[in-house]
Amino acid sequence: MPGSAMDPCPLSRGKKLVHLDLKGAPPKISYLHELIHLFADLGATGILVEYEDMFPYEGELKILQSNAHPPYSREDIISIQEIAHSRGLEIIPLVQTFGHFEFVLKHSTFRKLREVNHCLGTLNPHSKQGVALVLKMLHQVMELHPKSTTLHIGADEVYMLGEGEESKKWLSIPGHNINRLFLRHITTVANGIRENYPSLSVIMWDDMLRSMTSDTIKDSGLVGLVQPMLWDYSPVLDVENNIMLMEKYKSAGLLQQWVASSFKGSTTVHTCVTSTQRHVDNHLHWLKVASGLSSGVELQGIALTGWQRYDHLSVLCELMPLGLHSLASCLQCLLHGSFTEEAQKKVMEALGTGTTEVGDIERLSQANTRAYPGLTLAEIIVQLTAMLESEELRHFENNLYVRGWFSPYHRQRQIINPLFAEQIQKQAKMFLEAVDCKVHELQQEMCLLYPESTVEEWIAQHVTPVLKPLQDLLKDIHTALEDMGLFISDSASQSGN
């Protein structure tokens, strides 16, 4: 993993924003305060906060607040900013304004604002009511962030755009196309922000701009209103292509640009344990991109994204404690221009651990008292995940006793040799008891950092589906032995509950 030091590049000198995705597993406010201090200790200069349904919207927007767990209070939002500012961190709110609008459009009250009824994520760009709703949301967020000088308006992955009836009618007009439709909405929103907050800088994701020509962007009126943020989370991202994109945006007049990497939450939609190496590689490639840019590109900095869900309705990605080793490593990689031996040393010093990889439990367990907040939970999740992914548990139905004496044929007819039933029950009970013990540890530790609803969701997502086949097998054995008129021991029957 170590590399040789490189000359400082714009990413080493620029702003380093840690993305805080709160649309899943929102930390308790006390833990969030600890995380903010840790972000500063690790070398971040700001936080990109995506509140989504955890923001305390008021009035007619109160319906947007999460009903799974209480949103942060106004006092909480203020405390987040006070702690961040005390550590020299700027706060940049991120509010979706076009795509990924599921947390708004899922409500029946706003159903009529969808581009198409079956796509909860995309706002109808022709609706004046929709634009008014967006601006009202932005106003409430910015009102509670008086010191913020920058706002991120999202605008990525606007699925099904152009499929609505109003859009089809608009697109039938000669000269109209999807690109113009997208740009029309974004410039409307950006101009609305400019009218109310003339000195506010506005960032947007770049993916919807990628297929557009330089002239299309230039003629849209977008120049001077927004700063594109290029995102690419691949450990082997295409360096030359990203350079070409940034040069294209520059030629369109969008000189001030950002890039976005990833420190967690971008491997697969259901990944549980973060791979530090994967994300360090992503940053090493971004350093190459930044070093290859022409002088005309004014690179503002980088946002290290840490997704908690792929979208509002998807499952949880890695929890924050699992991604902190990766975050520390990626920040040090940026600060040093490569992941040098010195960078690794800084990571271990900052986290108070003997390793730069969260999966290295043996060395993690040697952590001293300066270990980072959430380390215990990270250890438990890695250990529990290893148990749940073990061959013995995942393929229990393929072991000798089950395949030989309680096959699907036997289960269907509810027959089993009692001697081998005892062996199967004994093995299954051992697995279940070990997992139950670790789950109990997880519940106790996770409840200290997250709401109960997050604990319940994590277990339902990662534990329950793995144990169910084993529990169903034990129930079928119980039924078969009962039908055969055989005695069932309390311990054996309990293990199938």
Residue range 452-497, pLDDT digits in tens:
999 999 999 999 999 998 888 888 888 888 877 775 554 444 444 4
Tokens 């148990």 — which residue?
Answer: 387
Compute the distance between CA of residue 374 and CA of residue 28 in angstroms, rounded to an integer. Answer: 12
What's the average model confidence in pLDDT over 101-113? Answer: 97
Domain ranges of the chain: 10-367, 390-484
Determine which of 314-318, 330-334, 395-399 has the lowest per-residue pLDDT on average: 395-399
Average model confidence (pLDDT) for the chain? 91
Has residue 231 got a pLDDT over 90? yes
pLDDT in tens, 66-94: 999 999 999 999 999 999 999 999 999 99
Catalytic residue among 50, 52, 143, 157: 157
Helices (H), 357-396: 361-364, 375-388, 391-394
Q: How confident is the model at residue 364 (pLDDT cuts 50, 70, 90)?
A: low
d(C-alpha 356, C-alpha 344), whole Å? 7
Q: Known catalytic residue: 357?
A: no
Query: Are 203 and 227 contacting, i.e. CB atoms less than 8 angstroms apart?
Result: yes
The pLDDT assigned to 428 comes to 87
φ, ψ at 231 (rounded to 5°): -120, 135
Question: Is CATH 3.20.20.80 the right assignment for the domain spanning 10-367?
Answer: yes
Look at residue 9 and tell me whether its pLDDT is greater than 90: no
Can you say whether residue 52 is alpha, beta or left, with left for phi > 0 and alpha for psi between -120 and 50 degrees?
A: left
Q: Which residue has the higher pLDDT, 370 or 377?
A: 377
pLDDT for the residue numbered 408:
84
Centre a 10 Å sphere on the Cβ of residue 338 and count the other Cβ atoms it contains. Answer: 19
Q: Burial letters for 126-140: b for 16+ Cβ neighbours within 10 Å, e otherwise?
A: bbeebbebbbebbeb
pLDDT value for 76: 98
Does residue 18 contact residue 301 with C-beta atoms inside 8 Å? Answer: no
pLDDT of residue 487: 57
Q: At what angle do helices 464-483 and 418-449 cross, to 10 degrees?
A: 150
pLDDT tens digits, residue range 193-221?
999 999 999 999 999 999 999 999 999 99
Query: Of 377, 341, 382, nearest to 361 (Cα)?
Result: 382
Tell me the HSE value of 218 on the side-chain side, using a 13 A CA sphere.
10
pLDDT category at 246 given cuts 50, 70, 90 is very high
How far, in Å, CA of 22 to CA of 259, rounded? 21
Average pLDDT over residues 294-299: 94
> Residue 46 corresponds to which tokens in the numbers above?
């700001």
Q: Is-contact 353 367, C-beta < 8 A?
A: yes
Residue 96 Cα to chain centre, angstroms:
15
Does residue 37 have a pLDDT over 70? yes
CB neighbours of residue 184 within 10 Å: 15
Structure-block tokens of residue 305 = 């994204």
Neighbours of 205 (CB within 10 A): 25
The whole-number average pLDDT for the span 340-350 is 88
150-152 vs 15-21, strand pairing mode = unpaired
Check residue 331 and give its pLDDT.
96
